[in-house]
Structure 1
Amino acid sequence: MSVLKVIQQMSLGMVTWNVKLEVFQKTLQEQVVLVNNNVVIHMRMRLEEYNLVTNFLILSGTQMILTTTDSDEEENDKESYGSFPTFSMPKSMDQYKWEVGTYFTEKKEFIEIIRTYALANGKNLIFDRNDKNKVTVKCAGAKGKCNWYAYCAYMSAMKSWQLRKIIDEHSCSRDFNVKLVNAKWLSKKMEKTVRENPHMKVMDFRDKVSRKWNVCISRNMAFRAKVIARDDVDGSFTEQYRRIYNYAHELLRGNPSSIVKVKVKNIDGEVIFSRFYACLKACKDSFVACRPIIGVDGFFLKGKYGGELLTTVGRDDNDQSLPIAFVVAKVENKDSWRWFLELLIDNLGGDAVGASCTFISDQQKGLLQAIQELLPGVDKRYCV
């Protein structure tokens, strides 16, 4: 009686579970052994027989252990019996050795690992089949004659994917044109580089990919990958601006009695960030012991949205700089300086305190007019 026939009879309930193991042993003789109450099968079987045996034993509450050892090596391999390993990404996929039975949490993980393996080893792998329950991968090297092959399938009982078959031998040489590499996947790998150097040229981007993985990519692919990576990086700026109120509340939570202002505009029902003001209580209280000098300056913000950082600093008795308050604004002009100085003067104690200070600046756009309107006759000095 064939293995397939025995399993079909068991699945149809023609024999009871109490004698199932006995039926296995009698039918398959020495090909079935019992180790720690687990059924261990040593045999060659067709793929449909393997799938049926695996699913039946799992649903029946019995663990099936797939081994590749011969019967005379059974004594030396008893310690290896157990559940199959779950894949863990190594430091390098170069010359990686695949293991039959390895679990993957989802199909996407297996596909990403195949791409990484192909890139690290310079192998022109292709997805021969990629559907809901099965993925087969072949190597197109050596004009399609390479023997390398991988088959991964979904196990409904385990809710995971498992590497069912692997022929881990390449008969092809290294290929510098890996077709599995695409712009979207490459952008994920190069996102850190683009974040650190957002103005990297396309050719520099392409050269770095070639040096890192020893593969060739077209200029168009390098351009698309760089654009996608920049969009992912710049997208974080958009997300952070949406959380500007969370940032303001966190400043107030960590620095009670501080002054934080957020100014927004409502354009067609959409809230758009305009300005942000912060004056921490500790800095404001420390200014009382500082010299009556306030330095005023502005700086450009570099990034997707740009803007200006307007700052005021004091000078303490040790000639150290003390930040007093700052504003993030879209542009530096009279209106933004006036809004900043009105809040600053009010936080420091009013016009009397502001008029007793000397303002030092390099005559930024609109600053002198704003100071003259708010504090007429106040002392002003200019940077050399």
Structure 2
Amino acid sequence: MANIEEQSAVVHFDDDADLNDSDFNDSDNDVYDDDDILFDHNVTKGIELDMPLTIEDGQAPESDSSSHVSSEELNIRSDSESDENSSRQKFPEYYVENENGKKKNPHLEVGLLFSSFEELKSVLKDYAVFNGVEPILKRNDKDRVHCVCKDGCTWRLWASKLQGEKTVQIKTYVPKHTCFRVRTNKNATFKWLVEYYLDDFRADPEWKIKHFRSTVRNDFGLHITKVVSWNTRKYAKVLVEGSDEEQFALLHCYGAELRRTNPGSTVIVSQPIAYAVIQKENTSSWRWFLMLLSEDLSMENWSSVTLMSDRQKGLRNVVADLFPTAEHRFCVRHMYQIFFRKDFKGKHLKDCL
């Protein structure tokens, strides 16, 4: 299961109901008197002994035969690494299937192996979003998981650890749903949406909320709130661009690189020289600000100075008027977001920059 490595940024996200996946909370220390009875009733007998995999009469309605097959029909292969394990059967292991860089609807089956319960529950969240359902972990402890759908729905899954291992295996699986798809899904959290749409946010960090919600509705048939959409975009920008704290922490590295590539340069990393609060960003306010900055710096030879800014029209005119000999350059990231994106959209352009 591919996971996104989260930045260590301090970012505040608005509270929303989707931040808590209560149905997937661990209960590792919960032990119940009826555990053994539940295990006997739900675990498909013989799955680890190459016996026919069936569900006893009265336990579940009929389902596709592909969900209850003998272990000979599973993906079994011999382990030739040692004589000791040469006769041990191998069940199919779960792996993330991607299409165009995005994960696909998980294919679940009896015998499927997972590295841990955490991976299984993460896959169940993917399954829930793709299929418009909300599974509930009816039994969730350190040795087994019993997952069901809504009351009256026939779908269910039972998984437990292999003896003496941390590996988790699906022992029983009834794939058929008799419930209706949901329009709102608590498993579609902003973090899940960021993981799925991260490449799209790389191409367009300012993806409009209205368009993003429409995309989610078309892809999954789900309605997400504006708060979830806003948090998704905000978190995506942190992953793509980094936080302000992380960017500021790189200033000393930037200064060292300037000294290395421009021998003889004087680079001093300190607090901002000046800032101002104004009513509106226009030619008049920029002229006032830059004139004060020029007086404070008391620089006589502006030809040795490079000014870097965005492409704000009023600012460009004022710089050309006040500092005609200074070199004026523009921020590449801002050029991409504001200028190039109008005519040339897509990730390829940003990669070139």
Rounded Cα–Cα distance in structure 1 between residues aligned with 2:170 and 2:298: 63
* 1:128 paired residue number: 138
Rounded Cα–Cα distance in structure 1 between residues aligned with 2:177 and 2:206: 40
Rounded Cα–Cα distance in structure 2 between residues aligned with 1:100 and 1:185: 26
> Residue 218 of structure 1: CA displacement?
3.2
Residue 263 (structure 1) aligned with residue 272 (structure 2): no
Larger Rg, first or second structure (1 or 2): 1
> Residue 167 of structure 1: CA displacement?
1.9
Residue 364 (structure 1) aligned with residue 319 (structure 2): yes
> Residue 40 of structure 1: CA displacement?
4.6
Could you tell which deviates more after superposition, 209-218 or 165-174? 165-174
Rounded Cα–Cα distance in structure 1 between residues aligned with 2:92 and 2:300: 65
* 1:42 paired residue number: 51
Which has the bigger relative contact order, CA under 8 A and spacing at least 6? 2
* 1:69 paired residue number: 70
- The one-letter code of the counterpart of 2:168 is W
Could you tell me whether the CA contact under 8 Å between 1:151 and 1:164 is conserved in 2? yes
- Inter-CA distance 95–221: structure 2 relative to 1 (3 Å threshold): closer
* 1:153 paired residue number: 160
- The one-letter code of the counterpart of 1:148 is W
Residue 89 (structure 1) aligned with residue 96 (structure 2): yes
Paired residues for 1:194-209 under 5 Å:
194-209=201-216
SS, match of residue 263 in structure 1: coil
Deviations along 1:249-282, one digit per CA (max 9) or x if unpaired, are: 34555x36263614213xxxxxxxx37xxxxxxx
TM-score, reference length from structure 1 = 0.47
Give identity over the alignment, percent: 22
Could you tell me whether the CA contact under 8 Å between 2:93 and 2:114 is conserved in 1? yes
Rounded Cα–Cα distance in structure 1 between residues aligned with 2:149 and 2:187: 11
> Residue 210 of structure 1: CA displacement?
0.6
* 2:35 paired residue number: none
TM-score, reference length from structure 2 = 0.50
- The one-letter code of the counterpart of 1:69 is S
Rounded Cα–Cα distance in structure 2 between residues aligned with 1:161 and 1:332: 65
**Structure 1, unpaired ranges of 5+:** 1-30, 33-38, 47-66, 266-273, 276-330, 348-360, 372-384
Could you tell me whether the CA contact under 8 Å between 1:86 and 1:103 is conserved in 2? yes
Paired residues for 1:94-105 under 5 Å:
96-105=106-115
Paired residues for 1:292-311 under 5 Å:
none
Could you tell me whether the CA contact under 8 Å between 2:144 and 2:159 is conserved in 1? yes
Aligned length: 234
Please tell me the root mean square deviation across aligned C-alpha atoms, in Å. 4.6
Q: Which structure has greater strand proportion? A: 1
Rounded Cα–Cα distance in structure 2 between residues aligned with 1:115 and 1:210: 17
SS, match of residue 319 in structure 2: coil
- Inter-CA distance 139–163: structure 2 relative to 1 (3 Å threshold): same
Rounded Cα–Cα distance in structure 2 between residues aligned with 1:336 and 1:133: 70
Deviations along 1:292-331, one digit per CA (max 9) or x if unpaired, are: xxxxxxxxxxxxxxxxxxxxxxxxxxxxxxxxxxxxxxx8
**Structure 2, unpaired ranges of 5+:** 1-44, 56-67, 79-87, 274-288, 306-315, 327-353
